[in-house]
Amino acid sequence: MSNTEPKQPGLLLALTPIVLSLGILGVQIFHFHDFSPHVPLAIGLAITSLVGIKLGHTWLGIREGVFHVIHVALPSVSVLITVGMIVGIWIASGTVPTLIYYGLKILSPEIFLAAGMILCAVVSVSLGTSWGTVGTVGLALMGIGAGFGIPPYLTAGAVVSGAFFGDKVSPLSDTTNLAPAVTGVTVFDHIKNMIPTTLPAMLIALIIYTVIGFVSIEDKGASFDRIQAITESLQANFYISPILLLPALLVIGLAVMKQPPIPSLFAGVIAGGITAYFAQGVGLHDFFTFANYGYTIESGVESIDSLLSRGGIQSMMWTISLILIALGFGGALERTGCLQAIIAAIRSKVHSFAGLQTSAILTSVSTNLVAGDPYLSIALPGRMYAPVYRGLKYSTLNLSRAVEEGGTLISPLIPWNAGGSFVILTLGLGIADGHMENLLYIPLSFACWLAPLIGIFYAFTGLFSPKATEEEIADWKAKGEKIAEV
């Protein structure tokens, strides 16, 4: 058996599996009008493996790289499974119907989008999980928006803007901990450095949603008859009471107490089951059924039936299978050196801080597009670009912000990415069923794409772009960190 080290791919060879995979994906989506990127990404994994073998890698080595990346993301898969249970149980318990009912009673169409974004932001910061927020509060907001006659893609844009805010600034968030870990800064320094881009992006989004609410959404658009039909249907099928919000308050309370996300969410499943038993008369076997297969309802009101017939572990399997394949593809690209070769080619052309910061953001975005994984889009550029920042004597806080913005925030805007596929499935946007207009949620998720643009603006103006302090430079040398001469 040869012990020869595998070769590093040239730029053209490194790009080959990516270009071919995106081409196959394009045929699947635009020619066959089939939004199921699983097989094209699996073919991409196979092509990448062939490139790796040509370079001298063994299949076992490539497989190890695939499984390593999948292993890193398993906590998020666990969150997906738990959120699937929560959605089914919280609908059965009346928690989600109660949120919808009181939302229709209290909120007005004009302020709904702005209020919805703020609510999702507060909950996501508390929980530290954008996915948990989308699957609970976000789902309820979709119901309220339907009652007001607001297009689902517009409501989804506000939900995504608010929910993914928490994944940027919550110390409980996995990505908020990953970004500083791979760039060598502390979590709270990283969060503090995120504020200059996060706060303006959220304020601009808030203003836009408020303007849309008062200019484009009128009371007459929110049909009184439609709202009355929805609230009456909810009352006819569920016991509605503020006490049914206790499962949600329990989860938020556990998060505030800094308990781990997955046990906190699972406590919400159990609390929802208890509530469902006492408030709605749901039996033990029904609890198992709703947690596994989701809740179903035939109320006679189409908007209620389509919104509340969802949830369960099995409903997450489409997304989970996509995530696993996308992660495998990303792991193969990393193990064979293809991603590193592309990043190195970009890095060699960068000689200024503005170019470096822009490249780091765009590399994270591109990794999200190609690998379909927010974790890889943070970890890989974070590792690859850190020595260049040190060489330019700029704090790697700039890098941690760049990869967080290009990784975490762009993830839900890419339909075949882990974040995007979850948003589309959980919020019932129906892209796979041909409702392509719902992809408009992507440009309408203002806070997600505004923050990276603000970050690039800062890079060119020098605003909020800290240089390395003497203490930071000394720390690099003490730890033996790699410094690339630029």
Measured distance CA(324)–CA(168) in Å, rounded: 23
Locate 130 and state its tokens: 């954008």
| pLDDT at residue 207 is higher than 70 | yes
| pLDDT at residue 451 is higher than 90 | yes
| pLDDT at residue 251 is higher than 50 | yes
CB 390 within 8 A of CB 364: no
Task: Give CA separation, 40 vs 108, 317, 368, 395, 420, in Å.
Answer: 44, 18, 16, 39, 17
In 238-372, alpha helices (H): 246-256, 261-280, 284-293, 302-308, 317-335, 338-347, 353-371
CB 172 within 8 A of CB 128: yes
Task: List the domain boundaries for the chain.
Answer: 77-313
**The pLDDT of residue 1:** 44
Measured distance CA(118)–CA(442) in Å, rounded: 18
pTM score, two decimals? 0.81
More confident call, 462 vs 261? 462
Give percent of the chain with pLDDT exceeding 70. Answer: 96
How high is the mean pLDDT of the chain? 88
| pLDDT at residue 86 is higher than 80 | yes
| pLDDT at residue 434 is higher than 70 | no
Q: What is the pLDDT of residues 3-50, one digit of tens each?
A: 678 999 999 999 999 899 888 888 887 778 777 788 888 999 999 999
Lookup result for tokens 């993914």: 164
Mean pLDDT computed over 305-311: 85
Lookup result for tokens 């800062």: 458
Backbone angles phi, psi at 430, to 5 degrees: 65, 35
Greatest Cα-to-Cα distance within the chain, rounded to the nearest angstrom = 76
Model confidence at 431, pLDDT cuts 50, 70, 90, reads low
